[in-house]
Chain A
Amino acid sequence: MTPLSSYLLVAALLFAVGLAGSLTRRNAILVLIGIELMLNAANLNLIAFWRYGPHPEALTGMMFAIFSIAVAAAEAAVGLGLVIHVHRHAHTTDLDAMNRMKG
């Protein structure tokens, strides 16, 4: 059996990749893609800990992951709808250009 730490490291790596993506790309949709990657990495963490944890029969980790998937789907829907809406007004999805909320 692969040790738990491997799964955790993979999850960490995926998380970092998703974070890097959302921080460095210009396109708003790619930011959302990065966020999806981060969420998935967290789900992986949850399932791994559920599997190797003390009470896997309680299904806690699994439920958490399932709910996380549901919420992530809802959030993706709303977020992408917002991006589309903003695109209609600004005719661009470039985040660097969207700075009208500056202080």
Chain B
Amino acid sequence: MQEDFTQPIVIATQCYGTFAARILWLIPAVPMMAAGAIALLKQSHRKSSALLAIGSLSFSLFLALFEFAYVVSGWAHGGRTLETFNFTWIQTGASNVELGWVLDPLSAIMLVMVTFVGLLIFIYSTGYMERDGNYTRFFCFLSLFAGAMLGVVIANSLLLLFMCWELVGLTSYLLIGFWYQKPSAAAAAKKAFLTTRVGDVFFLLGMVWLFAQSGTLLFYSNGSGSMEAGALAGLLAQPAAFGLTAAGAIGTLIFAGAVGKSGQFPLHIWLPDAMEGPTPVSALIHAATMVAAGVYLIARVYPLMRDGALNGGSTASLSAVTWVGAFTAVFAALIAVAQNDIKRILAYSTVSQLGYMMAGLGMGGVAVGMFHLITHAFFKALLFLGAGSAIHGCHEEQDIRKMGGLRSDMPVTFLTYAIGMLALCGFPLLFSGFWSKDGILEAARHWSVAKAPFYMLVFGAALTAFYMTRQVAYVFFGHWRGQKPAHESPAVMTAPLAILAFFAMALGLIGTPVWPWFRAFLEGRAAGFDPRGLAEPGFLALMCISATAVFIGLALGWRLYGDRSPRANEPDIAEKAMPFVWRWLRDRLYVDELYEATVIAFYRQWGRAADWLDRWFWGGAVDGVARIFREWAKLSKFLDANVVDGCFDKGCDELSAGGGLLSRAQNGRAQSYLRILALAVAALAAILIWSCRA
């Protein structure tokens, strides 16, 4: 399938303010309102809180299906739907800040995926969190997360996307630290929040730059949006630093935000620690949806990153995306080989698969990356829920060396888990993972810039098969190594597993070259059923290469781990062979330790300096001011007591003395009074007589 990835996608119609676009806001709003309502319930109202959460998300699923059907019918009639509803949020004189929501194939597909997988995980949680005391709080946070994630999906404005992005980060923090009494959980939550924050700073910078350059943060707005031709042309014409255009620089900054949220190297350190949260949280947030938000963001701003490619090559920002993604894919897969916690293996696997998605976006375009995102959401959620079921059945044991033989004890879990594992490895033909990964590999093979990512990704596929086989062998095969016997999980937990397993297989159908429905749907073209698509020579060769890589991994893993049941405390076979390499891989290649020694140590010193400054400098200044005021008060008191009161008292004394002096005139003798009287009358008469005369 030779595709020309550099041609811009033609938008057939852009409608504004249609009914379908107008009611989009209900999809995230209803779960958020449910979260608010649950927050007001008491801890004892468990059933009501679960009902509210599941009910609201069902409503959102129903609406999402309606929107999806609407977009599909629009696609069936030809053309690519793009309906928006925008409104002004803040008016600041010359420029306004607008928000809005958008309905196009990309958002429709994501809406269905998020609500559907989310609903299944909600139902699963009612069983998993049965014995937890904070049941209502869990569903409140889950609802809030669902609302925020759906807000990210429908956002037509980069600002609204950012706001919901931050909200998603907040709920992730709240849910990772759900059992906050555990110090490790609290530390993991803090680590997740701070690490994603680092990425968000760059995201914010890119957003502000975009607003300053193009005057709008809306994606699509009847021709004046930032992802539309006019603004893009302006951004491409503007040069930035390091030989990038403004468009490329902004795209790279936004990608830095996605690096944090989607756990790419070097900001991947939070994702494995995030496994401290309950397993449904890991499934929903750290496998299917939140970490996919980074990929979704790149897909949304893809026109920004794609334009300006030189002569059929790739732009600088897309190259950055590709290299980071490819490197992360291999890096995380290597670390996953040596982990012993069932969830941590899956966490590193998620990081690795996110790298695949990023590489797919960078090399192949929106459809390639998004297809892997959709399929990955289903089988990774399945794997996490299955792991949760296994943990639940093994009485909260998470170390794979202490499990074993669950194939017979938990058959449904084993079956669904196996389907998910094969999908993840990319077992040929039957499983969706094969088709989505092959799409990425094909794009890598035809990448004009370099061939190295292709080899890296193939190696990564082999590693994926290897470590997943190791995990499955440890957990489900061999003998039971735990204390108490394991038991199967209740139906409320296994039913979602079955549904997800079905989709893990069935989704492959919409992405094969025989019937490339997914790609055609996203791009607004007709999808033809064409069996000859498989027969293209390049594609067949590619299928063989990827299948070979998978089989090598599976075989190697089975040979080393299958049907051998090592004891719990016995070191791993590969560890015995390469102890030094194994130790490095198990300790996660010391990235955390590096950060601890450099960045965190720096901040600790800075904190100490700030404390000193605050205590001695500013505190001293405040004390000085207080002292000045105290001295002033003393001076004031002295002046008041001595000067003011003294003057007053002295004045009164003088007045008294004067009165005493004057009273001597009252000598009690009538004659002296008479004298004075006569004198006064004479004087008065003189004055009157001579003043009249004059």
- Do the two chains touch directly in the complex (Cβ atoms below 8 Å apart)? yes
Question: Are B678 and A95 within 8 A (Cβ)?
Answer: no
Q: Choose, from B96-104, B343-351, B663-671, the stretch at the interface.
A: B663-671
Let me know if A71 is at the binding interface, CB within 8 A: no
| Contact (A99, B671) CB under 8 Å given A19-B678, A23-B678 | no
User: Whose C-beta in chain B lies nearest to the C-beta of A38?
Assistant: B678
Q: Which residues of B contact A22 (CB under 8 A)?
A: 671, 674
Q: Which residues of B contact A91 (CB under 8 A)?
A: none
Q: Which residues of A contact B663 (CB under 8 A)?
A: 103
User: Whose C-beta in chain A lies nearest to the C-beta of B682?
Assistant: A19
Give the CA-CA distance A29 to B666 in the complex, in Å. Answer: 22
Mask, A67-103, CB within 8 Å of B = 1, is 0000000000000000000000000000110111111
Question: Are B668 and A100 within 8 A (Cβ)?
Answer: yes
Question: Are A98 and B674 within 8 A (Cβ)?
Answer: no
How far is the CB of B108 from the nearest CB of chain A, in Å? 110
Question: Are B668 and A99 within 8 A (Cβ)?
Answer: yes
Q: CB within 8 Å of B: which of A1-27?
A: 19, 22-23
Question: Are B669 and A99 within 8 A (Cβ)?
Answer: yes
Q: CB within 8 Å of A: which of B670-693?
A: 670-671, 674-675, 678
How far is the CB of B643 from the nearest CB of chain A, in Å? 34
Question: Are A96 and B669 within 8 A (Cβ)?
Answer: yes
SS class, residues of chain B in contact with chain A: helix
Question: Are B670 and A98 within 8 A (Cβ)?
Answer: yes
Question: Are A95 and B667 within 8 A (Cβ)?
Answer: no
How far is the CB of A26 from the nearest CB of chain B, in Å? 8
Question: Are A98 and B669 within 8 A (Cβ)?
Answer: yes
Give the CA-CA distance A100 to B667 in the complex, in Å. Answer: 8
How far is the CB of A31 from the nearest CB of chain B, in Å? 7
Question: Are A102 and B674 within 8 A (Cβ)?
Answer: no
Question: Are A95 and B668 within 8 A (Cβ)?
Answer: no
Question: Are A101 and B674 within 8 A (Cβ)?
Answer: no
Give the CA-CA distance A51 to B670 in the complex, in Å. Answer: 37
User: Whose C-beta in chain B lies nearest to the C-beta of A26?
Assistant: B671
Question: Are B678 and A102 within 8 A (Cβ)?
Answer: no
Task: Give the bracket for the number of chain B residues in contact with chain A.
Answer: 10 to 19
Of A23, A98, A99, A103, the contact of B675 (CB 8 Å cutoff): A23
Question: Are A31 and B671 within 8 A (Cβ)?
Answer: yes
Give the CA-CA distance A99 to B665 in the complex, in Å. Answer: 12
Q: Which residues of A contact B665 (CB under 8 A)?
A: 103
Q: Which residues of B contact A103 (CB under 8 A)?
A: 663, 665-666, 668
How far is the CB of A34 from the nearest CB of chain B, in Å? 9
Q: Which residues of B contact A31 (CB under 8 A)?
A: 670-671, 674
How far is the CB of A7 from the nearest CB of chain B, in Å? 18
Mask, B550-578, CB within 8 Å of A = 1, is 00000000000000000000000000000
Question: Are A101 and B671 within 8 A (Cβ)?
Answer: no
How far is the CB of A17 from the nearest CB of chain B, in Å? 13
Q: Which residues of B contact A95 (CB under 8 A)?
A: 669-671
User: Whose C-beta in chain A lies nearest to the C-beta of B669?
Assistant: A99
User: Whose C-beta in chain A lies nearest to the C-beta of B667?
Assistant: A102
User: Whose C-beta in chain A lies nearest to the C-beta of B663?
Assistant: A103
User: Whose C-beta in chain A lies nearest to the C-beta of B668?
Assistant: A102
How far is the CB of A19 from the nearest CB of chain B, in Å? 6
How far is the CB of B679 from the nearest CB of chain A, in Å? 10
Question: Are B668 and A101 within 8 A (Cβ)?
Answer: yes
Give the CA-CA distance A100 to B668 in the complex, in Å. Answer: 6
How far is the CB of B37 from the nearest CB of chain A, in Å? 91
How far is the CB of A35 from the nearest CB of chain B, in Å? 9
User: Whose C-beta in chain A lies nearest to the C-beta of B671?
Assistant: A95
Q: Which residues of A contact B666 (CB under 8 A)?
A: 101-103
How far is the CB of A49 from the nearest CB of chain B, in Å? 15
User: Whose C-beta in chain B lies nearest to the C-beta of A19?
Assistant: B678
Give the CA-CA distance A102 to B663 in the complex, in Å. Answer: 9
Give the CA-CA distance A12 to B674 in the complex, in Å. Answer: 18
Give the CA-CA distance A31 to B671 in the complex, in Å. Answer: 9
User: Whose C-beta in chain B lies nearest to the C-beta of A22?
Assistant: B674
User: Whose C-beta in chain B lies nearest to the C-beta of A24?
Assistant: B671
Give the CA-CA distance A79 to B674 in the complex, in Å. Answer: 15
How far is the CB of A29 from the nearest CB of chain B, in Å? 13
Give the CA-CA distance A30 to B666 in the complex, in Å. Answer: 22
Give the CA-CA distance A73 to B554 in the complex, in Å. Answer: 153
Q: Which residues of A contact B670 (CB under 8 A)?
A: 31, 95, 98
How far is the CB of B686 from the nearest CB of chain A, in Å? 13
Give the CA-CA distance A103 to B659 in the complex, in Å. Answer: 11
How far is the CB of B192 from the nearest CB of chain A, in Å? 96
Mask, B265-295, CB within 8 Å of A = 1, is 0000000000000000000000000000000
Question: Are A23 and B674 within 8 A (Cβ)?
Answer: yes
Give the CA-CA distance A10 to B567 in the complex, in Å. Answer: 155
Q: Which residues of B contact A99 (CB under 8 A)?
A: 667-669
How far is the CB of B94 from the nearest CB of chain A, in Å? 86
Give the CA-CA distance A101 to B673 in the complex, in Å. Answer: 12
Mask, B643-674, CB within 8 Å of A = 1, is 00000000000000000000101111111001
User: Whose C-beta in chain A lies nearest to the C-beta of B666?
Assistant: A103
Most chain A CB inside 10 Å of its own CB: which residue of B665, B666, B669, B675: B669
Give the CA-CA distance A95 to B671 in the complex, in Å. Answer: 7
Q: Which residues of B contact A19 (CB under 8 A)?
A: 678
Give the CA-CA distance A99 to B666 in the complex, in Å. Answer: 9
Q: Which residues of A contact B678 (CB under 8 A)?
A: 19, 23
How far is the CB of A89 from the nearest CB of chain B, in Å? 15
Question: Are B671 and A23 within 8 A (Cβ)?
Answer: yes
Mask, B310-343, CB within 8 Å of A = 1, is 0000000000000000000000000000000000
Q: Which residues of B contact A98 (CB under 8 A)?
A: 668-670
Q: CB within 8 Å of B: which of A45-67?
A: none
23 A-B interface contacts by CB (under 8 A): A19-B678, A22-B671, A22-B674, A23-B671, A23-B674, A23-B678, A31-B670, A31-B674, A95-B669, A95-B670, A95-B671, A96-B669, A98-B669, A98-B670, A99-B667, A99-B669, A101-B666, A101-B668, A102-B668, A102-B669, A103-B663, A103-B665, A103-B668
Interface residues of B (CB under 8 A from A): 663, 665-671, 674-675, 678
Interface residues of A (CB under 8 A from B): 19, 22-23, 31, 95-96, 98-103
Closest 9 CB pairs of A and B: A102-B668, A103-B666, A99-B668, A101-B668, A103-B663, A99-B669, A102-B667, A95-B671, A23-B675
Known: A95-B669, A99-B667, A103-B665. 17 other contacts (CB 8 A): A19-B678, A22-B671, A22-B674, A23-B675, A23-B678, A95-B670, A96-B669, A96-B671, A98-B668, A99-B668, A99-B669, A100-B668, A102-B666, A102-B667, A102-B668, A103-B663, A103-B668
